[in-house]
Amino acid sequence: MWLDVLQIQGLDPAILAAAIGLMLTLPISLLAIVIWNRQSSDQGALSAEQIDRLAQGRRLPDLSQQVNQSFERLVQRTGLELTSAKAIGYMLMAGLVGALATILVQEDWMLTPIGFFVGILSVLGLLLMLQSRWRESIRRELPDSLHLAARSVRAGLNLDQTIAVLASQAESPLTREFSAVAQRVSMGVPLEQALRLSALKIKLPDFDLLAAGLALHRRIGGDIATLLLRLAGNARERHLARGQFRASTALGRTSAVFLALGGPILLLLNRSSQPESFSRFIQSSGGQLAMGIALALEFVGVVWIMLILRQDD
């Protein structure tokens, strides 16, 4: 049915449909990055950067700038030495490889956009997995680092020296962040602003509390060692509670994965076991309409399950 619209003299409608699919896949993937990144981060209030911009009368970034910033922070949180441009290049390369593999295996131009989309999603899924591991590593190491900071303060070191001590520990994502903070401080940036920059990148409540607590101490003073110990205890309790939550919802998350994969697996089984019946179904107008509705409902169901099972940091 919809191929009749693509009838252009001298051009195969299947090739035209594949080209349109290739052009639409990348913006859809980038939009999915923004949606996922917003759902997986704390969206309760304006960030400190946004508050500063509002206070100075500057405009907040528009949608395109928000997309760029969200994807750039996603790449930074993977712990890889990558830029957003390189990450997009890898996504396009994986998409082209997926499209080429689809053509070689199926010998059908109509399935090229599916292979391209799967290739892009594979790289995106890898970036999201690396981001999750990176943040989990920081969440796990932060309580011990705060205990070390409290002992360093009690030994007579000031906060700048304490940050340098934390940056000199074994190589890890958290150590690299403290190294970045120490480098900013050595360049003349106030400690509270240096910590705020790292907090905006990490986006973890425990690190946000650390940045806010040290900034408050710089203004009003107090027992910094006790503050660090309390922050360490709070971070450890949050980490344990997060582990208990993941254990209690493991069965639900596993069931959701099987429910999401059930439809595509049944479709592939039907295509392999009854190719002639499947071909007639796809070529008919009613079959194309049913397939489009099924894909839309599959997408809505996956997003719905993600929203139900997602956990706030």
Domain identity same for 224 and 312:
no
Q: Collapsing DSSP states into helix, strand and coil, what is residue 284?
A: coil
Residue 137 has pLDDT above 60, yes or no: yes
Domain identity same for 308 and 263:
yes
Residue 106 has pLDDT above 80, yes or no: no
The encoded tokens of residue 138 equal: 């920081």
Q: Which residue has the tokens 């900071």?
A: 149
Examine residue 150 and state whether it is found in any structural domain, yes or no: yes
Domain identity same for 234 and 260:
no
The encoded tokens of residue 203 equal: 């986006």
Q: How many residues does the chain have?
A: 313
pLDDT on residue 313? 53
pLDDT in tens, 201-234: 888 888 888 888 888 888 887 788 888 899 899 8
Contact call for residues 50 and 43 (beta carbons, < 8 A) = no
Tell me the C-alpha distance between 147 and 233, whole Å. 9
Domain identity same for 311 and 221:
no
Tell me the C-alpha distance between 302 and 5, whole Å. 30
Last residue of a domain, one of 178, 213, 239: 239
Contact call for residues 6 and 98 (beta carbons, < 8 A) = no
Mean pLDDT of the chain, nearest integer: 77
* Total-model pTM: 0.65
pLDDT in tens, 33-46: 555 555 444 444 44
Domain tally, the chain: 2
pLDDT on residue 43? 42
pLDDT band at 267 (very low <50, low <70, confident <90, very high): confident
Residue 288 has pLDDT above 70, yes or no: yes
Examine residue 157 and state whether it is found in any structural domain, yes or no: yes
Examine residue 232 and state whether it is found in any structural domain, yes or no: yes
Contact call for residues 122 and 93 (beta carbons, < 8 A) = no
Type of residue found at 143 = P
Last residue of a domain, one of 239, 271, 295: 239
Tell me the C-alpha distance between 226 and 153, whole Å. 10
Domain identity same for 205 and 257:
no
Q: Give the mean model confidence (pLDDT) for residues 109-128.
A: 82
Examine residue 286 and state whether it is found in any structural domain, yes or no: yes
The boundaries of the domain holding residue 278 are: 249-313
Percent of the chain's residues with pLDDT above 70: 75
56/290: higher pLDDT: 290
pLDDT on residue 77? 85
